[in-house]
Amino acid sequence: MTLYPLALRLEGRTVLVVGGGAVATRRVPALLDAGAHVVVVAPQLTPALQALASADRLRWEPRRFEPSDVDDAWLVQVAVDDPVAAAEVSEAAEERRVFCVRADDRTRATAWTPAVTRHGPVTVAVLGGGDPRRAMVVRDAIRDGLVDGTLESAAPLAPVAEATPGRVALVGSGPGDPELITVKGRRLLARADVVVADRLVPGLLLDELRPDVELVDASKIPYGPAKAQEEINRILVDRARAGHFVVRLKGGDPYVFGRGGEELIACAEAGVPVTVVPGVTSSIAAPAAAGIPVTHRGVAHEFTVVSGHVAPDNPLSLVDWSALARMRGTLVVLMGLKNLPAIAATLLTHGRPAATPAAVVQEGTTGAQRVLRSTLGDVVDEVAAAGIRPPAVVVFGNVVDALATTLPARRGDQT
């Protein structure tokens, strides 16, 4: 079969996704990144897709597919494994002359999804003539060549010791921008048999997985559905013992409020070898993306990173907020948006000046980044008025204004 390759401009155009499982979780981020108006029709969604729906990044119709759903679509993605249901969708698309991608049977689709890699402004899409593995090998070779500047031949990559069967890799995927994962992390991800992913991992990385990779959505949506950590540990151990190479893909760094230590201990106790690949932590990257250095000569020679998911007045809190109020350096709070009123009040009570510069960076390093600059005394009211939502990083200290006079306004700056 001779195919006609084409790049679609989907910005502002409706794309229908039928199905709310692992396949949809992998495909939707790329559609959103292209600016598409994504409509998902499915009785249920994975936690990752639920988070996108709650943030109004996509529209969810919680029901079964109806042929009229195709009426306004420019493209249809069928992400169900029921051949009868998939055929109903593709038949409706065929009648309306809308191209349709089918995850269950590419021979009955009118469009195929290529193996994709992105490097800056360059997007490479590879079709393997119906062989996804061939496409992935060529795509990976091109990607590695783009990364190291050589564009070597498309021969299969050599085996890597850290990616052997029966092993787990704890990989930090960075703060949100898919290009901020480390070279080693991306290399191991390309070799994974099983990927256990958090909600905050860059969605475009999931779009690059081989079609045969098992994707386990281990999303921990704040104050919503969550998998128990023990269940995640069990999945890692069971899949590795079954002879798979398992990548535990985590937002930021595995050891910065990521429970990576608990997962390493669980694997070690089960006799499963583990490789740890550090990641860029949002505690530094999100402020940096907003033009805020956590340290700056003559301004701050220290910074402290704390978790704010437990309120200061909660007996379970392990943070000495009174000591933090007295420090002169930078204070970075992760997972603290819900408890921001209590955190700000506690810092003020223990002597932190109300005029202390403050900033909140929502979805730092991503295209949805928003930045709010304020003061300790006003930040609570201004965050509420602006509708800032998680994930967000809060920064207190003079570094918030350290570069304000030298840097131009950036994309995502709100105030």
N residues, the chain: 415
Q: What is the pLDDT of residue 152?
A: 44
Which CATH entry fits the domain spanning 159-277: 3.40.605.10, 3.40.1010.10, 3.30.565.10, 3.40.50.10860?
3.40.1010.10
DSSP state of 213: P
CA–CA distance, 231 with 108 (Å, rounded to integer)? 37
Radius of gyration of the chain measured on its C-alpha atoms: 23
Q: Which of 104, 140, 177, 198 is catalytic?
A: 198
Q: Report whether 94 contacts 71 (CB < 8 A).
A: no
pLDDT (0 to 100) of residue 323: 95
Note the pTM of the prediction, 2 decimals.
Answer: 0.82
- The C-alpha atoms of residue 157 and residue 91 are separated, in whole angstroms, by 40
How far is CA 72 from each of CA 2, 15, 27, 33, 220, rounded to the nearest angstrom?
A: 29, 8, 19, 20, 33
Active-site residue 198, yes or no? yes
Give the per-residue pLDDT at 136: 83
Check whether domain 283-401 has CATH 3.50.50.60, yes or no? no
Q: Report helix angle 229-241 to 260-269, nearest 10.
A: 40
Q: Which CATH superfamily groups domain 14-113?
A: NAD(P)-binding Rossmann-like Domain (3.40.50.720)
pLDDT confidence of residue 381: 98
**Predicted local distance difference test score (pLDDT) of residue 153:** 37
Q: Are 391 and 333 in contact (CB under 8 A)?
A: no
Backbone angles phi, psi at 116, to 5 degrees: -120, 140
Report pLDDT for 52: 94
413 counts as catalytic: no
* pLDDT at residue 321, as a whole number: 95
pLDDT, residue 282, reads 97
Task: Please report, for the chain, the start and end positions of each structural domain, with discontinuous segments joined by +.
Answer: 14-113, 159-277, 283-401
The per-residue pLDDT for 339 is 97
Contacts of 275 (CB under 8 A, 6+ apart): 162, 167, 168, 169, 170, 188
Q: Which residues of the chain have pLDDT under 50?
A: 152-157, 409-412, 415
Annotated active-site residue in 81, 184, 220, 238: 220
